[in-house]
Amino acid sequence: MPARKFDGQALRRARRARDLSQEALGRAEGVDVDQSTVAKWESGSFPEPERLPAIARALGEPLDGLFPRDGHPDLADLRCDAGFAQRRTGALIGTKSYIPVSNAERGVRRLNEAYVPRLAEAYGVTEEQLRAAQDRSFGVVPAPAAAPPVPRTLAEKLTYLLDTTFPGGRPTDAQIAEAVNAHAGVDVISAGAVEALRTGTPPPSEVLAGLAAGVVLEGLAEFFGVTALFFQSDEELERQVVDAISLLALRGSTDTFALAARGGQDGLGPAMLAKISALVAEAQRKAGPRR
């Protein structure tokens, strides 16, 4: 399990900041140790994990702040974070034995479903969180979340920007139109046309003309704080890349693009790589043999 990090010097500093003696900290509710034990902790001896929450409370510190943990908790971590020794868990699930919890923590046998809600309540977590922690105790690694789809169309890109750039509250279509028109210096789009672009319905013809001229996209780019390239289609971007490579290749920068063609397979599609390779080959042919 990902044990919490413990620093005896940090514990001493926190205790002194609260003007607590070692004896007073040991007497705190849930800590229940003598002064010599606290002294050992401050010298580097690790307390029982289930005592850490009580120590943090006594010092007025957040548990994660005083004793941080990297990674997600397993079942034993949840128990310790709730301040329970394993031997006390039988009472939590309504049995005389702590063996069911011990078996689950060690990845031997899963908890009876009847125990899940009781243990989750005792630990102060949801049933879903308890089951996920139990999975980790059994070495089950959850599948990574699927990557969100890449926005392709103008409507998808506008929706993406509205969701990510304005989490506190979306601007209205009228506000977006006002900003685009201010950028253009003339009325090129209305609130209704912004709605059409945002929902993927055909916009008015004058907006189409503005899109073709780039003025609407430039205004949208300024409003959302991105470059106008963000709104261009994949085909338009590929064409610009090809044009740029052609220009640079004709200027003699063939080595750079040969390397890109050989090593860029993670970022470029086969068709694009084929175009780059053909351009590089043609540029190298024109450049002639190296001296």
Q: Provide the domain limits for residue 56.
A: 8-66
- Is residue 256 located within the same domain as residue 281? yes
Asked, for residue 221, whether it belongs to a domain, the answer is yes
Q: Between 113 and 70, name the one with better pLDDT.
A: 113
Average pLDDT over residues 183-206: 89
pLDDT in tens, 220-270: 999 998 888 888 777 776 677 667 666 665 655 545 555 554 544 444 556
- Is residue 39 located within the same domain as residue 89? no
Of the residues 19, 41, 66, which one is the last residue of a structural domain?
66
Q: Look at the block and give the residue holding tokens 């590089």.
A: 280
Q: Could you tell me the CA-to-CA distances from 59 to 18, 31, 46 in Å, in that order? A: 6, 11, 17
Task: Report the mean per-residue pLDDT for the chain.
Answer: 84
Asked, for residue 143, whether it belongs to a domain, the answer is no
Q: State the pLDDT at residue 98.
A: 96
Asked, for residue 146, whether it belongs to a domain, the answer is no
Burial class (CB in 10 A: 0-12, 13-18, 19+), 289: exposed
Contact by Cβ (8 Å): 134, 79: no
pLDDT in tens, 5-63: 999 999 999 999 999 999 999 999 999 999 999 999 999 899 999 999 999 999 999 99
Q: State the pLDDT at residue 251.
A: 59
Asked, for residue 203, whether it belongs to a domain, the answer is yes
State the total domains in the chain: 4
Of the residues 66, 93, 110, which one is the last residue of a structural domain?
66
0.85 exceeded by pTM: no
Number of Cβ within 10 Å of residue 133's Cβ equals: 25
Contact by Cβ (8 Å): 171, 191: no
Of the residues 20, 42, 66, which one is the last residue of a structural domain?
66
- Is residue 60 located within the same domain as residue 94? no
Say whether pLDDT at 140 is over 90. Answer: no
Distance CA 105, CA 62 (A): 25
pLDDT in tens, 163-173: 888 766 788 99
- Is residue 133 located within the same domain as residue 168? no
